[in-house]
Structure 1
Amino acid sequence: MVYLPVMIPPVVSALLWKWFYDPGAGLANEALRFAHLPTSNWSNGADTALVSLVIVATWANMGGTVLIYLAALQSIPGELYEAAELDGASLLQRVRHVTIPQTRFVILMLMLLQIIATMQVFTEPFVITGGGPENATVTVLYLIYKYAFLYNDFGGACALSVMLLVLLGAFSALYLRLTRSGEDDA
């Protein structure tokens, strides 16, 4: 069930959420009306549009991340937990001193991959908000699309793409260097 959102094509997923967020007959506002709560503009309001897209992108991409975390958790030897429990460690202490150190590499790599994926969001703003009210949901890739196909400025789109590549490459190198230096100290 957790992996199901990943199997749905991104455009179909975005269209479902667009219907879900519809201010008139959308499921989100119907649920709020049923609970006698005030309704929201969701993806049509400048103050709520970006949060709405974050929810959509998180839901659509969480399946792979959850599976990788699950695999990392299952790779932790049970003896470590048993030893910590025999030493009198509480649940939080076992998480802090066993689980997190054993899954540190996976956590750091998934954080890097999620940051890179966040910088490359396109489908949700394109399909759901079209850049959003007052450009509230214009992402870098959506801006590249606008330069290339709406403004017919392929040079500007290419320059933005190269800038994104350089920025993400520099960020990744810095991130890996900082996380490696933390490993060397441990």
Structure 2
Amino acid sequence: MGNNLSVFPQTQSILTTPRLTLRSLSENDAPAIQEALSDRAIADTMISFPFPYPPGAAADYIRRQQTAFEQGEAVTFGIELGNEQAEQKQIIGAIEIREIDREHLQAELSFWLAKNFWKQGYMSETLPPILQYAFLDLGLNRLYAYYMTRNPACGRLLRDYGFVQEGVLRQRVRKWGEFEDVVLMSILREEW
């Protein structure tokens, strides 16, 4: 029945796709992350990123993600444009398996992509190896994700990879002074 998360990985895996490398974040990624998350368009559809993105926040984000991995609470992959053979490499986003619940073998999936890289299929390329990692390597049984109802593209992406809507959390978050409805979706290992 897969891993029960009794032994969390000591080192983070590197996953590759035809155009991308998914790897742990490093301090060197802070400038690219700071620039991407300073774009209001990113903060607009993310539940937890502030705008304006404070100076130094990217370095803090990287440290928090590294600590969460060391404590077995999360795995964050930087999405790097350019596979292992590519000369030009650039961090363009991140995808997190977070809030890992070892007892119930579930976690939240969260992701963001720099605006210049939207609508180019990068998240569609990222999800298959991440789902495989979550279900096979981590041994999870359930992954869930949230998105604001006014971001239907996120819902379509999740549905394309087998996520099922569980419900709508009415006025779950407050963004730009307005309460927003949030959709909860999930996928089970048996559905994957």
Q: TM-score range by the shorter chain?
A: under 0.3
Compare CA radii of gyration and give the structure with the larger one. 1
- Richer in helix (by share): 1
**TM-score normalised by length of structure 1:** 0.24
More strand by share: 2
Question: Normalised by the size of structure 2, how large is the TM-score?
Answer: 0.24
